[in-house]
């Protein structure tokens, strides 16, 4: 398995101390070792701290990465804007304010895009509207089966996760290789896939968000973990970021959180649950994003949707499973699961819990969300550093995907 990517950090001091993803000794940007030690002066002089003769490793400070340098030059609003990803429906245009006024971190494609020309036009528009030095992250839901936003000559048809899971990891790898190739050809950077949810066999198709749409690789945690690993590695080989969803799992809920605020509680999943193994496997395989569920998990944190839960994000996902990448929400723009939560809180509650970026299927909410993040960051040093930390992760992801 590939190593996990280190994408984090953000306050200036933290960024200087802990910079880029772990690199191979011969990789670009790595000097392969520390600086040469001092000669220590006269032979009778005691060795200084860090001299190899006293048994300690010499220490060096790595130069700042492109993401770190960019973060230091951004305004508070530009930093806040990086934490909002905006949904653009097929056939619609990007509102210019998305990038020109709100400095959104990027866009994701909604609904079904029937041809390459249509996709290329929106990609070109995003690049033209955003500042060249602050490029947009471009993502799309491309899972296979019923959930394929790119169709026609924009992307090849791939089977559903349920079909691929029954055929095994090699079939998954082949399908996700073609998905990665197609996204790369259209200038996109991130697949909002694979689904890592393990479907409860007692629910089956009654599990509306996953089982009912054939979006899950199966009902056995080990089998699903193998398939998730294959999908993540195949996308990575094509230079496409993978998104594990919907943490900590939607395989045990009945209703779809996009359309209902009822029936979206999972009373079984807890911190030691075997259904989490597919997420662990995807993280170990190098997934760069994790999408949080908007369902509620009483054994993790009662009465709190996972996307707003510090116990789910910080304690379980980051500390427990070791994920260091970008944590994003499921849709918070049009989804019924969060309809009763004030728009501003949909962003700030994620940040308070340790998450990073919100996805809104409603572009008209972009300004309000960015306003809320900017205002929250201005409340004090702790909030400011929390927002900078998340913006640092977003920019580090962009750097790793070759955007900076």
**Domains of the chain by start residue, with CATH:** 65-400 (3.20.20.300)
What pairs with residue 142 in β-bridges? 148
Rounded to the nearest 5 degrees, what angle is found at the Cα of 331, between the Cα atoms of 326 and 332? Answer: 100
DSSP state, residue 357: E
* DSSP result, 78-96: HHHHTTEEEEEETT----T
221 vs 16: which has the higher pLDDT: 221
Instruction: Quote the percentage of the chain above a pLDDT of 70.
Output: 82
Per-residue pLDDT averaged across 202-224, rounded?
Answer: 95
Give tens-digit pLDDT for 56-103: 666 678 899 999 999 999 999 999 999 999 999 999 999 999 999 999
CA distance 332 to 321: 25
What is the reported pLDDT for 30? 37
Taking the CA atoms of residue 56, residue 57, residue 62 and residue 67 in that order, the dihedral angle to the nearest 10 degrees is -90
How many C-alpha atoms does 385 have within 13 Å on its Cβ side? 9
CA distance 8 to 236: 19
What 3-state class would DSSP assign to 327? strand
- In order of 34, 37, 40, 69, 189, the CA distances from 46 in angstroms are 21, 14, 8, 38, 54
Yes or no: say if 7 and 71 are a contact pair by the CB < 8 Å rule.
no
- In order of 130, 164, 217, the CA distances from 181 in angstroms are 25, 18, 21
Residue 32 in this model has a pLDDT that exceeds 70 = no
Give tens-digit pLDDT for 263-310: 579 999 999 999 999 999 999 999 999 999 999 999 999 999 999 999
Residue 251 in this model has a pLDDT that exceeds 80 = yes
What 3-state class would DSSP assign to 306? helix
What is the reported pLDDT for 287? 98
pTM of the model: 0.84
């Amino acid at each position: 398995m590939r190593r996990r990517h280190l994408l984090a950090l953000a306050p200036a001091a933290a960024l200087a101390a802990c910079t880029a993803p772990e690199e191979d000794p011969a990789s670009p940007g790595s000097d392969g070792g520390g600086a040469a030690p001092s000669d220590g002066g006269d032979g009778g002089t005691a060795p200084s701290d860090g001299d190899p003769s006293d048994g300690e490793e010499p220490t060096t400070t790595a130069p700042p990465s492109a993401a770190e340098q960019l973060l230091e030059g951004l305004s508070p609003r530009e930093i806040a804007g990086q934490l909002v990803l905006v949904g653009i429906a097929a056939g619609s245009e990007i509102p210019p304010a998305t990038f020109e006024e709100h400095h959104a971190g990027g866009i994701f494609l909604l609904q079904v895009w029937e041809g390459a020309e249509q996709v290329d036009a929106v990609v070109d528009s995003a690049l033209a509207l955003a500042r060249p030095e602050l490029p947009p992250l471009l993502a799309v839901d491309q899972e296979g089966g019923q959930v394929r936003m790119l169709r026609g000559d924009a992307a090849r048809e791939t089977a559903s996760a349920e079909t691929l899971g029954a055929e095994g990891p090699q079939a998954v790898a082949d399908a996700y290789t073609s998905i990665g190739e197609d996204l790369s050809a259209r200038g996109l950077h991130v697949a909002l896939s694979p689904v890592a949810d393990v479907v409860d066999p007692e629910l089956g198709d009654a599990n509306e968000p996953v089982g009912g749409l054939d979006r899950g690789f199966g009902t056995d945690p080990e089998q699903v973990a193998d398939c998730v690993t294959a999908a993540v590695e195949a996308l990575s080989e094509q230079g496409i970021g993978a998104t594990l969803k919907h943490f900590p799992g939607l395989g045990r809920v009945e209703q779809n959180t996009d359309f209902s605020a009822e029936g979206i509680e999972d009373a079984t999943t807890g911190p030691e649950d075997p259904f989490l193994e597919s997420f662990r496997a995807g993280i170990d395989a190098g997934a760069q994003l994790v999408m949080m569920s908007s369902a509620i998990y009483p054994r993790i944190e009662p009465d709190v949707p996972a996307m707003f839960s510090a116990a789910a994000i910080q304690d379980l996902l980051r500390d427990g499973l070791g994920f260091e990448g970008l944590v994003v929400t499921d849709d918070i723009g049009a989804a019924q699961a969060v309809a009763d939560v004030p728009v501003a809180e949909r962003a700030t509650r994620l940040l308070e819990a340790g998450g990073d970026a919100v996805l809104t299927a409603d572009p008209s909410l972009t300004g309000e969300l960015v306003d809320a993040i900017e205002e929250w960051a201005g409340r004090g040093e702790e909030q400011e550093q929390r927002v900078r930390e998340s913006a640092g992760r977003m920019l580090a992801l962009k750097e790793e995907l070759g955007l900076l």
